[in-house]
Amino acid sequence: MTDLDLARREVSQSSAGGAAFLICFGASLLVCAVLSFFLPVRQAALAVMFQGGIALPCAFLLERRMAWGPMAKDNPLNVLSVQLAMSQIVAFPIVVAMFDLRPGAVPLAMASIAGGHFLPYAWLQRTNVYIWLGVVVSAGALALQMALGSRAFPFILMLMTASYWVGAVLVRRAAWRLTHGR
């Protein structure tokens, strides 16, 4: 096993494959989906845009409970892990523009960004679940938007939630196998 393999193994152990983030963001998106049935579209879109402010700290707390050990401060993938996690932020201007131009399409923009965001995790976490998750979230959101038009808002969020929660089970299982040899 190379140093890189050991570093990736430690990433998987310390994050349980990223399952906590999928669980918490799935939950916050589900809350936004429910709210979208009661709020005007602009308010619902704002909730979607900023739900990460609640989901992210919850995910960090849950990750500590789910992890099978900490990541060493000198792990060479530490910085890369943070950069991958924060990569979505550079795409946020398109979400802001969508909010200004067509608030009802904010979930589509968020799903498209999330879909692309997942792809590098296939390498980092050593599971193709993240490839499938990215494709399902992004392409599924587009299909729903095209089929349902202005009614797609909550259903895209529900698709994301379901995908994230199924993904959480699968990535945690994959991380367990990779780190515990089973």
- Cβ contacts of 141 within 8 Å, gap of 6 or more: 107, 108, 111, 112, 115, 152, 156, 159, 160
pLDDT of residue 182: 64
Q: How far apart are CA 99 and CA 131, in angstroms?
A: 27
Q: What is the mean pLDDT of residues 52-69?
A: 94
Indicate whether 109 pLDDT > 90. Answer: yes
- Per the document, the length of the chain is 182
Weakest-pLDDT range from 24-28, 87-91, 118-122, 161-165: 87-91
Share of residues in the chain with pLDDT > 90 (%): 76
Coil, helix or strand for 37? coil
The more confidently predicted of residues 140 and 84 is 140
From the list 167, 118, 111, 116, the residue with the least C-alpha distance to 140 is 111
Query: What is the reported pTM?
Result: 0.94
Predicted confidence band at 1 (pLDDT cuts at 50, 70, 90)? low
